[in-house]
Structure 1
């Protein structure tokens, strides 16, 4: 005796349960895979500082800057561009990281200036901290530790440093005469 043909609704209801079972199995597996992948990414790309150990800021051993600067031999100056950390209450936080690190070398004998930009994600050994990104040295120990880290990493002496904040670049441009920009239309921006 032939089996009776099932209605479209019965077949649809049965196929829906097949899809539901697959979803019930697949979603947790995908979630676990995503979680494992994120954990693997964080553990392989995060710095070594866990926040549990106390880091003391060493006293900077940098000579004070006097103007005019008399150059007799090569002088290396570390330029540190520092960001501002703003917390959820829109207050400036106490810890900042260096966004930009450049080492400028002034050679009066050859009448040349050379500059080297150090990528902020370069992994280096920070004295007293361990291996981390070079921009974390500023957060751990301010400009003094940053100077020591760069000097150790590049194996060159750093004689001076210059710290530039978010408004410093605009002030430097204004001090040398500014930049004229002609905007043809009124521009309005709301944040």
Structure 2
């Protein structure tokens, strides 16, 4: 169908305004949900409804969670974002999922929370080795919840730890992450000191990484001063870099479509999030900008062992104020007062 233009308004100017509105929606959404899940949601609707329909929906993500145990609902929107390190030979999430082998434990656990006005957001990493109480299972590493009871038990566990109600759930495996990095032409990250992992050498300073190299970067834990804690910071750093490159692709229609196509094939989201829901969130968050997103990690008291397992002990005392700031949308102010809990410009 052609565009009917009247008066002195040109077809080019109409197209320019449409592209400008579309880009504002996309930028807001890209920042808000940090590429794991909804990096393409606004673009999906803007480009074609069929791409939205290709996003795999996860059934029963909230089934069986007792409502009386859940934190109260708020006007903010919170996603529990999970990355699985399946070690399988092929994708285990998204429409291309063909592999079923490997661990079902969650290697990346992040809470992305967007304020009701859609102008600010926070992304909080919870170390996968955090020693917590898993409902009905007792003390264990938090990532074991996903292995024991899938999305419902992990959601219930994270809600109990944080006091933050989870509205949506999404997952991507590392095969999907690698594809997404390659779809934007690689990412740029800064490294504090030279190190290496899985045959990939990282030099001090700025490194340009393709998908395979980025995977080695976010998987590394050995030879890093903070071990698994530094790995969590690397995962956030890579995600931030991916967002930057995704934002750059908005001016390139071919590159944008490639990113959206890759995302729609590699992510899975809970089945309460319809195509219309994706569109509505994109519009709601159209004014969100990178400067409005705070990256941080749950406060840690220290490292230790439980039997043969190396674990992370969360700081419950500091967590009271920290999680309250997450719930209140004041995390940026909290991190300003506690800079060690924010994402450094150059993580290890």
User: Please, what TM-score do these two structures have when normalized by structure 1?
Assistant: 0.51
Inter-partner Cα distance in structure 2 for 1:168 and 1:182: 16
Inter-partner Cα distance in structure 2 for 1:182 and 1:137: 32
Aligned-residue RMSD, C-alpha: 2.8
Match for residue 155 of structure 1 among 149, 152, 163: 163
Q: Per-residue displacement from partner, 1:48-79 (whole Å, max 9, x unpaired)? A: xxxxxxxxxxx5326xxxxxxxxx93111011
- Please state if 1:111 is matched with 2:112: no
Residue correspondence of structure 1 range 2-13 to structure 2 within 5 A: none
Inter-partner Cα distance in structure 2 for 1:108 and 1:135: 29
Q: Counterpart in 1 of 2:107?
A: 99
Q: Counterpart in 2 of 1:140?
A: 148
Quick check: 1:85–1:96 contact (8 Å CA) kept in 2?
A: no
C-alpha deviation, 1:173, in angstroms: 2.7
Q: Per-residue displacement from partner, 1:140-180 (whole Å, max 9, x unpaired)? A: 011221111101111110011111102121232344x3228
Q: How many aligned positions are there? A: 111
Q: Which structure: larger Rg? A: 1
Inter-partner Cα distance in structure 1 for 2:101 and 2:178: 22
Quick check: 1:85–1:92 contact (8 Å CA) kept in 2?
A: no
Quick check: 2:85–2:103 contact (8 Å CA) kept in 1?
A: no
Structure 1 residue runs of 4 or more that deviate by more than 6 Å after TM superposition: 180-183
Residue correspondence of structure 1 range 1-191 to structure 2 within 5 A: 60-61=61-62, 73-84=75-86, 93=101, 95-109=103-117, 111-175=119-183, 177-179=184-186
User: Please, what TM-score do these two structures have when normalized by structure 2?
Assistant: 0.29
Quick check: 1:81–1:98 contact (8 Å CA) kept in 2?
A: yes
Inter-partner Cα distance in structure 2 for 1:163 and 1:78: 9
Secondary structure at the aligned position of 1:128 is classed as coil
Inter-partner Cα distance in structure 1 for 2:161 and 2:139: 11
Q: Say which structure is richer in helix.
A: 2
Secondary structure at the aligned position of 2:174 is classed as coil
Secondary structure at the aligned position of 1:125 is classed as strand
Unaligned runs of 5+ in 2: 1-59, 64-73, 89-98, 188-207, 211-348
Select the structure with the greater relative contact order (CA < 8 A; seq sep ≥ 6): 2
Secondary structure at the aligned position of 1:167 is classed as helix
Secondary structure at the aligned position of 2:81 is classed as strand
Indicate how the Cα distance of structure 1 residues 182 and 132 shifts in structure 2: closer, same or farther if over 3 A, else same. closer
Quick check: 2:61–2:169 contact (8 Å CA) kept in 1?
A: no
Unaligned runs of 5+ in 1: 1-58, 63-71, 184-191
Inter-partner Cα distance in structure 1 for 2:146 and 2:160: 15
C-alpha deviation, 1:125, in angstroms: 1.1
